[in-house]
Structure 1
Amino acid sequence: MYFSRVAGLSRKVAVFLALTLSLSASLTFAQGDEEAGLRSKIEKLRSSGKKSDLGLALYQLGQYLAEKRRFDDALPFLEETLAIDRSIAKPADVFKDISAIAMVYGFKKDFAAAEKFYGECLNIARETGSLKLEALTYSNLGTNAIFARRYEDARGYFEKSKDCAAKSNDYVLEAQARLNISKILKSEGKLKEAIAEAESALKLLGDNDQESLVGEVNLALAELKELAGDIAGAITAYRKSAAVFLNCGEPLREGKALLNLSNDLLAYGKPNEALTELNKAHEIFDQEDDKHSLALVLSRLGSAYADIGNFAEAQRFHGDSAKLALSLSENSLVLENQFELAYDYYLEGAIDKALKRFLEINSKLSGQTLEDKELPGETLNSIAMCYRELGQYSAASEYYEQAFRKFSSHGNQLKSLAVMNSLACLYLDSGKLDLYQKKFAELENAMKDLGKEQKDSLEFKRLAGYVYFNHAQFLNRFEDSYSKALDEFKIALQDFEDVSDRKGQIRALNGLGLTSLNLAGVANRADKQVNDDKAMQLASNALSYFKKAQPLAVDSGIIDLQWECSYGLGAANQILNNLKDAETYYFKAISLFEKEKAKHTRDDSKTHTLDLRGACFQSLVTLL
Structure 2
Amino acid sequence: MKKILTSLLAVGFYLTPLTVMLMAQPTWGQTQNLQAQEAQRLLEQGIKLTQQQEHQKAIQILQPVPAMAQELKDQKLERTVLVWLGFNYNALGEKQKALDFYNQALPLFRAVGDRAGVATTLNNIGLVYDALGEKQKALDFFNQALPLYRAVGERTDVAATLNNIGKVYNALGEKQKALDFYNQALPLIRAVGDRSGVATTLNNIGAVYNALGEKQKALEFYNQALPLIRAVGDRTGVAIILGNIGLLFQSTNRPTQAITNNSLKSPGVQNAVPPKLQAVLAFGNPVPSDPQNLPGAEAEVRSIKEILPDSEVYIHNEATLEKFRSQALRFSFLHLATHGCFKTEDCKKVKLKNNTLLFADKPLDIANAALLGLQGTQLITLSACQTAVDTNLNDASTGLAGVAYIFERAGAKAVMASLWAVDDEATQQLMIQFYQNLKQGMTKGEALQQAKLKLIKDHPYYWSPFVLIGDAR
Common fold, TM-score beyond 0.5? yes
Structure 2 residue 27 is matched with structure 1 residue 24: yes
Residue matched to 2:245: 383
Q: 1:381·1:403 contact (CA, 8 Å) conserved in 2?
A: no
Give me the whole-angstrom Cα distance separating, in 2, the residues matched to 1:231 and 1:298: 22
Rate the CA distance shift 1:230–1:324 in 2: closer, same or farther, 3 A. same
Provide the rounded CA distance (Å) in 1 between the counterparts of 2:216 and 2:14: 29
Match of 1:227?
Answer: 91
Using the TM superposition, give the Cα deviation of residue 457 of structure 1 relative to its aligned residue in structure 2, in angstroms. Answer: 3.1
C-alpha displacement of 1:313? 0.8
Contact 1:304 1:314 in 2 (8 A): yes
Measured after TM superposition, the shift of residue 361 of structure 1 is: 4.0
Quick one: higher RCO (CA 8 Å, sep 6+), 1 or 2?
Answer: 2
Among 213, 219, 236, the alignment partner of 2:77 is 213
Matching of residues 449-528 of structure 1 within 5 Å? 452-454=307-309, 457-458=312-313, 462=319, 466=324, 475=342, 479-480=344-345, 482=347, 504-505=359-360, 507=362
Q: Where in structure 2 are there 5+ consecutive unaligned residues?
A: 1-9, 284-303, 325-333, 367-385, 390-473
Kindly indicate whether the alpha-carbon contact (under 8 Å) linking 1:339 and 1:361 is maintained by their aligned counterparts in 2: yes
Counterpart-to-counterpart distance in 2, 1:227 and 1:217: 15
How many residues of Structure 1 are paired with residues of Structure 2 in the alignment? Answer: 323
Aligned to 1:134: 32
C-alpha distance in 2 between matches for 1:405 and 1:413: 17
Structure with greater helix percent: 1
Distance change in 2, residues 1:208/1:278 (3 Å): farther
The TM-score with structure 2 as length reference comes to 0.55
Counterparts of 1:206 and 1:488 in 2: how far apart (Å)? 53
Measure, in 2, the Cα distance between the counterparts of 1:414 and 1:301: 36
Which residue, 182, 193, 218 being the options, matches 1:329?
193
Partner of 1:4: 13
Cross-structure match for 1:312: 176
The structure richer in strand per residue is: 2
Matches within 5 A, 1:132-531: 133-135=31-33, 164-165=34-35, 175-186=39-50, 191-206=55-70, 211-362=75-226, 365=227, 369-370=231-232, 372-399=234-261, 405-408=271-274, 411-412=275-276, 452-454=307-309, 457-458=312-313, 462=319, 466=324, 475=342, 479-480=344-345, 482=347, 504-505=359-360, 507=362
Structure 2 SS opposite 1:342: helix
1:248–1:508 distance in 2 versus 1, CA, 3 Å: farther
Any unmatched runs of 5+ in structure 1? 27-98, 100-132, 136-163, 166-171, 422-448, 494-503, 520-624
Q: Which amino acid aligns with 1:2?
A: V
Instruction: Measure, in 2, the Cα distance between the counterparts of 1:482 and 1:246.
Output: 53
Deviations 1:338-366 (A, max 9, x none): 1101112233454454234324544xx17
Offset of residue 206 of structure 1: 4.5
**C-alpha deviation, 1:236, in angstroms:** 2.4
CA RMSD of aligned residues (A): 4.9
The secondary structure found in structure 2 opposite 1:480 is coil
2:24 is matched by which residue type in structure 1?
Answer: L
Counterpart of 2:360 in 1: which secondary structure?
helix
Q: Against the structure 1 CA distance between its residues 244 and 210, is the aligned structure 2 distance closer, same or farther, given a 3 Å change threshold? A: farther
Does the CA-based 8 Å contact 2:46-2:59 persist in structure 1?
A: yes
Matches of 2:42 and 2:250, distance apart in 1: 51
Aligned to 1:70: none
Cα distance, 1:173 vs structure 2: 5.8
Q: What is the Cα deviation at residue 222 of structure 1?
A: 0.6
Q: CA deviation at 1:255?
A: 1.5
8 Å contact kept, 1:403–1:416: no
Residues 3 and 334 of structure 1: CA distance in aligned 2, closer, same or farther (over 3 Å): same
Structure with larger Rg: 1
Deviations 1:26-81 (A, max 9, x none): 8xxxxxxxxxxxxxxxxxxxxxxxxxxxxxxxxxxxxxxxxxxxxxxxxxxxxxxx
User: What do the CA deviations read for 1:248-271 (whole angstroms, capped 9, x no partner)?
Assistant: 111112222222222222222222
